[in-house]
Amino acid sequence: MTGKEHLTDWEQDWLEGKISSQEAKEKAKNDLQFESLDKFVSKAKQLNIPDGISKAEAWSKLESRISEIYSPKVISISRRSWVIGIAASFILAIGAFFILKQNTNQITIETSLAEVRNVELPDGSTVYLNAESSVSFPEKGWATARKVILTGEAFFEVKRGSSFTVETTNGLVQVLGTSFNVRSRANLLHVACKTGKVRVTTQDESNEQYLTAGMAVNVENGSISEILETRADRIDSWRNGQYDYESIPLEQVLNEIKRLYKVEIEHDFSSSELTSPITTTFSSLKDAAQTIAVQKGRGFEVNEEENTAVFKVK
């Protein structure tokens, strides 16, 4: 037995919005009962059914909820209580649609190994996403939720006059009409400002640093480093295949090489060597291997056909 079979014609027409509350009230036998129910449905009408949900589908959902509530085993359910139950279910059903819509309004763009992508944000700003990275942002409601969630590395060109926050697991970056690079891998966040000004904070916002053009900073384990000087013209050089790493642990540089060139790396570096910072610049896999080998006193071998690089003591 469906919910519709328990409603009079006017009740069904009213719930479906085919007649006004005033028309329904004239048909109701008990105005007091109707006014109580009218308050429930008035609230429901203020909620929006998500795009793509038709009136028929919405009614079908409502019927299902009504069937769940209605049970012949329940004794002495008055018509007023039952119809108010329908209205409450209607509110809950539409509310569930609304929450679901809110939760699915997030857009996520990901890149794989050796892949780079350009992403446009709702305000017209551009995100250049490096290999094995992801960025998420709200599809709608950008004006009230100006947040971009980043995993990995990206360069941001912010449209003049726009502002938003870049959230990573290691810290936050607040921007206003600028261009900057953010790399968040493992427990290290590296932010470099190319133009304008950015504010970098820890996750709990207890520590902060302001960066202008040519400045960079690291956030690691909840602490922010002193400001580092960097060449502004090289901050986003990775977009053109030129990679620069300043004072970055060797292990993280090796992991970046794996991502950028989709290779496996074998090495005999010690734990202390892997955690020690290095500064290096390269534009190819062979170039990267050579610069690291020279700095660390190793021999190297690159096999591009097998996508491997090997570092060993000379």
Residues in the chain predicted with pLDDT less than 70, given as ranges, are 1-8, 10-23, 25, 27-104, 314
pLDDT for the residue numbered 56: 56
Euclidean distance between CA atoms 198 and 147, whole angstroms: 15
- pLDDT tens per residue across span 277-303: 999 999 999 999 999 999 999 999 999
- 166 forms bridges with which residues in the sheet? 148, 173
Residue 218 to residues 94, 170, 191, 228, 283: CA-CA distances in angstroms?
46, 10, 7, 8, 23
Please state the domain extents for the chain: 3-103, 106-236, 241-314
Shortest CA distance to 139 belongs to which of 105, 92, 93? 105
Burial class of 290 by CB neighbour count within 10 A (0 to 12, 13 to 18, 19+): middle
Beta-carbon contacts of 250 under 8 Å, excluding residues fewer than 6 positions away, are 269, 273, 274, 275, 276, 277, 278, 292, 296
Model-level pTM greater than 0.85? no
**Fold topology of 241-314:** Phage tail protein beta-alpha-beta fold (3.55.50)
CATH number of 106-236: 2.60.120.1440
Summarize the chain as % helix, strand, coil (round to 5): 35, 30, 35
